[in-house]
């Protein structure tokens, strides 16, 4: 079987993680790297371990390289501009989250993707972390009964330094609630199986980036927040984000409580704990399982193996062996929830999703 020829657009931190993971897939071959920054192109080749043509512009790459698939791993605010020629070229596209930085641009991408005949996939790695995937499957299989409350906690390290410091300003990222939290809003929709109705977010930049200045400008990105989301089926969800908790033993904790049981998943330990309801006073009967990740795959990234498993599913979709599991519409709705949370935090009020046309 011919290998699929991949081009990588944006060869920064995440682009190099994709290179490491594509190298592990027997059906993938990287044939082109595109990045306007020379140092990134050089580091991309070093990561790949052999020479392939590199391009400064997407137009040059599309004119010269023979490609089947592209991964869009450039900064968030470039996604719309980058996607336009890729759609026109009819390529299979995996675009990293967030789909775009604004609801308008994300809506444009979703509308364009609806008429795209090749695969379009929004990168949402958290769905593919093995413990998270098991958590999702267990809830789908009815292990908590009727899901009523979902809470997602991420307590992690501050935003890393990026090429050109693009991630310090909301105008480039969409704001933390879009940039980082679109992952968790996507998980909420997937797990609850319904659409959000309203969002309340309390958050601010209280600890990180206080002394940083870029061209004299101070960053404006939230570093901690609580977000409550009401869903159309009556379920409610909470996101607890903290980005100055790099010492946390568990970076992510997912908790679902239904009318039959509570289920928790912890990452990176990979433990899942199911605690069924018991009659008052009866012994508690929690059960714990461990969901392992292949060590080679774990080592190829910083996202608990998910980058590989998502690429594997993307390739299955391109080959016609599987569905597109994260659509452009999923990407749009995650951006819209993030935008609602950003607006809620800044205006200190409940934001209805109808304000964004949903
Ligand atoms: N899914 C995840 O968990 C995850 C994790 C990290 C980053 N990301 C996403 O990946 C993307 C890149 O993030 P990063 O952390 O690698 O940033 P980065 O700054 O490390 O790398 C971005 C690269 O894109 C290049 N670039 C800038 N403009 C470009 C353009 N117009 N065309 C092509 N390349 C361009 C930069 O020179 C740089 O090399 C972002 O959308 C980010 O949100 C996703």
pLDDT 10s digits, 109-121: 999 999 999 999 9
Cα 46 to middle of ligand 1, angstroms: 17
Check residue 104 and give its pLDDT: 98
DSSP string, 250-282: -SEEEEEEESSEEEEEEETT-EEEEEE---TTS
Q: Which of 44, 74, 167, 243 to mutate to test the pocket of ligand 1 (most atoms within 8 A of CB)?
A: 74
The SS3 of residue 8 is strand
76 lines ligand 1 (CB under 6 A): yes
pLDDT at 8: 98
Asked if residue 31 has its Cβ within 6 Å of ligand 1, the reply is no
| Antiparallel, parallel or unpaired: β 236-242 and 120-123 | unpaired
By C-alpha distance, which of 322, 274, 314 is closest to 145? 274
Q: Which two tokens stand for residue 274?
A: 């199911």
Residue 1: predicted pLDDT:
83
How far is 191 from 74, CA to CA, in rounded Å?
28
Ligand 1 pocket member 130 (CB < 6 A) = no
Cα 13 to Cα 15: distance, rounded to the nearest angstrom: 6
Residue nearest atom 5 in ligand 1 by C-alpha distance: 14
Domains recognised in the chain with CATH numbers = 4-125 (3.40.50.720), 127-302+324-356 (3.30.360.10)
| Distance separating alpha carbons of residues 149 and 100, to the nearest angstrom | 29
Question: Quick check: 196 and 188 in contact, CB under 8 A?
Answer: yes
Residues of the chain with pLDDT under 70: none
Q: For residue range 252-268, what is the model confidence (pLDDT) as tens digits?
A: 999 999 999 999 999 99
pTM of the model: 0.98
Pocket flag, ligand 1, residue 173 (CB < 6 Å): no
What's the start-to-end Cα distance of the chain, in Å?
A: 43
């Amino acid at each position: 079987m011919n290998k699929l020829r991949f081009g990588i657009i944006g060869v920064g931190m995440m682009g190099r993680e994709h290179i490491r993971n594509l190298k592990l897939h027997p059906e993938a071959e990287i044939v082109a790297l595109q990045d306007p920054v020379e140092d990134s192109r050089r580091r991309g080749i070093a990561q790949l371990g052999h020479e392939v043509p590199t391009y400064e512009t997407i137009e040059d790459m599309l004119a010269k390289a023979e490609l089947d698939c592209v991964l869009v791993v450039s900064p968030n605010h470039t996604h719309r501009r980058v996607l336009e020629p890729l759609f026109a070229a009819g390529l299979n596209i995996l675009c990293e989250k967030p789909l775009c930085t604004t609801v308008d641009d994300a809506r444009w991408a979703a509308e364009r993707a609806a008429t795209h005949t090749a695969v379009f996939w929004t990168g949402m790695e958290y769905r593919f972390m093995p413990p998270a995937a098991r958590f999702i499957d267990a809830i789908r299989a009815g292990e908590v009964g009727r899901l009523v409350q979902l809470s997602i906690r991420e307590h992690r390290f501050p935003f890393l330094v990026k090429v050109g410091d693009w991630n310090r300003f909301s105008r480039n990222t969409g704001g933390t609630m879009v940039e980082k939290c679109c992952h968790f809003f996507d998980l909420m929709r997937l797990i609850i199986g319904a659409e959000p109705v309203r969002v309340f977010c309390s958050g601010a930049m209280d600890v990180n980036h206080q002394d940083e200045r870029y061209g004299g400008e101070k960053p404006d990105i939230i570093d901690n927040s609580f977000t409550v989301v009401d869903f159309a089926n009556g379920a409610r969800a909470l996101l607890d984000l903290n980005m100055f908790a790099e010492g946390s033993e568990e970076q992510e904790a997912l908790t679902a409580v239904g009318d039959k049981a509570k289920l928790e998943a912890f990452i990176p330990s990979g433990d899942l704990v199911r605690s069924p309801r018991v009659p008052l006073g009866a012994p508690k009967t929690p059960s714990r399982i461990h969901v392992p990740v292949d060590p080679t795959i774990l080592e190829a990234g910083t996202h608990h193996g998910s980058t590989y498993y998502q690429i594997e599913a993307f390739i299955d979709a391109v080959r016609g062996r599987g569905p597109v599991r994260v659509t452009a519409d999923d990407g749009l709705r995650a951006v819209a929830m993030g935008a609602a949370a950003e607006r809620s935090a800044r205006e200190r009020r409940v934001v209805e999703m109808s304000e964004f046309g949903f």
